[in-house]
Amino acid sequence: MKTRSDAGPTLLPRPPSRSLLLRVIAGFAAVCPLVATAGSSPLPDLSYGGASDGIARVDFSFAGRSDSARAGLVLAGDRLLVAGIVQYVFGQPLGDIGFARLDAGGRLDADFGAAHDGRAPLGFVDAPALYRIARAGDATLFVGGTFDFSSMLIGRLDRDGAIDTSFNGAGFRHLGGGFFLNGGVAALATGVSRLSNGKILVSGVAGSVAMTCFALARLNADGSTDTSFGGGQGRTCVAPALPDGRPFAYSSSHAIAADGRILLAGWAVRAGGSGYDMAVARFSADGVLDRSFGPAHDGWAFASFDHGGIDEYARSIAVDGTGRIVVASDFTGVRSKDLAVVRWLPDGRFDTTFGDGGKAWFDLDWQDERGPSSDEAHSPCSCSPTSASCSARGQRASARPGC
C-alpha cells in the first residue's frame, strides 16, 4: 500500500539569502534568482537578468534549432556557469554542447568564451547528450554520451571556456559499452566528481545483450584509466542478481561518503520486486561492491512504494553529516507521477525515524482542465542531521518541498 504524509509539501524555513533557480525553456536557459527570508516562500529578484523580470536568458542562435539547459554551477562572486545541449534538432544527430557564464547580475560574462560573449559552444556536431558538470579546480568536467548512447562522453573545459587538451590529448574521451562489459554495446555517463587526489570518478549505466548495469569508472587527471580501481580494470559494472531473466540496473546519480566509499542511486529489477524499484549500491573507495551494505548484505538497498506494477526512479542521492543516505525519487501512480524521498542508515537499513518507516511520498496537487500534473524529482538533495529537502518540478508547477 502507498503511504504518505497527511501534511503534504511544505517550504522549509531558510535564512535570508539569495539563491539561483535554473529553468529549462525554449532558448538556452532561464536563470531566476530567488530571494527568501526565514519561513517565507522565495520570490523572484527582479533586478536579475536585465529585463526587469528576474530572468536571465541565453540564446545560442542558429536558425531552426533549439537550446536546452541541463546543468549549472554557482561560482565565486555569485557568477553562474550553465551547460546544455545547443543548436540541436529534435530526434536527429545534429547539435552541440554549449556553456555560458553569467555575472552576478545575470548578464553574459565577456571574459568567457572564444568570442568573449559569455558563450562557449564546444564544436561537436553529432548531438551528444550532457547530464552533469563538476568543478575541477579552475576547470570544469562534463559528462554525457553519444547520440546513439553507444558510449560515455567525458571532457574538461578550462576556466576561459575552451576545451582543455591536456585531458586525453583532445579534451574529451569516449568510454564505450565494451569498456565496461564483454559484448557491451551501450554506455551513458550520468555523474562525475573530481576526487581530493585529483582523480576523476565517472558513474552511469552500461549495457549488453545480456544485462544493463550500474557503471563506475575512475580516470587519472590526464584522462587515462586508473587501473588501481575496480580490481585492476579501472571500472566496474553491477546489477542485482536474478534467478532468471535479464539483470537490469540504471544509475542516475552518485555520492561520496566521508570515508571515501561510493554510493550509486538509480532503479533496478530485483528478485521479489515489481517493475523498477529505487536502488542504491555501495562500493569501496577502490570500486569494489561493498557486501557489508544493505539488509541482505549483498551491497544493495531497495525501496518500493507499491505492491504491484508501479515503477520508482531514484534521481539524486546525498549523504548527510551523520552518514545517512537520502534519495529523491519519483514513481508512477495511478494517474500521474508523484514524488518520494527515502532515508537509509549508513548500513543500508531504512531509517525508521524518517517519514513512514524511512519513506515519504507526496505530490504537488496541481490540476487543471487537462487533468493532474506529473511530478519529477531532479536536483540533488540537501541534508542536515535533522532535515532533508529536495528540489522537484511538476509538469505544470514547481516547488521545493520539505521532505
- The pLDDT value recorded for residue 194 is 97
Using CA atoms in the order 76, 109, 202, 327, what is the torsion angle rounded to 10 degrees? Answer: 60
In whole angstroms, give the CA distance from residue 64 to residue 28: 14
In whole angstroms, give the CA distance from residue 282 to residue 290: 6
Q: C-alpha grid cell for residue 55?
A: 530572468
- The pLDDT value recorded for residue 66 is 85
CATH of 17-399, one of 1.20.930, 1.10.10, 1.25.40, 2.120.10: 2.120.10
Residues 6 or more apart in contact with residue 282 via CB below 8 angstroms: 261, 262, 263, 264, 289, 290, 293, 294, 299, 348
- The pLDDT value recorded for residue 144 is 95
Torsional sign, CA 169, 175, 178, 179? positive
- The pLDDT value recorded for residue 235 is 98
- The pLDDT value recorded for residue 400 is 38
Domain boundaries, the chain: 17-399
**What parts of the chain have a pLDDT lower than 70?**
1-42, 62-64, 306-309, 333-337, 363-403
Sheet containing 129-136, strands listed edge to edge, beginning at the edge strand earlier in sequence: 129-136, 139-145, 151-157, 172-176
Q: C-alpha grid cell for residue 5?
A: 504524509
In whole angstroms, give the CA distance from residue 83 to residue 70: 6
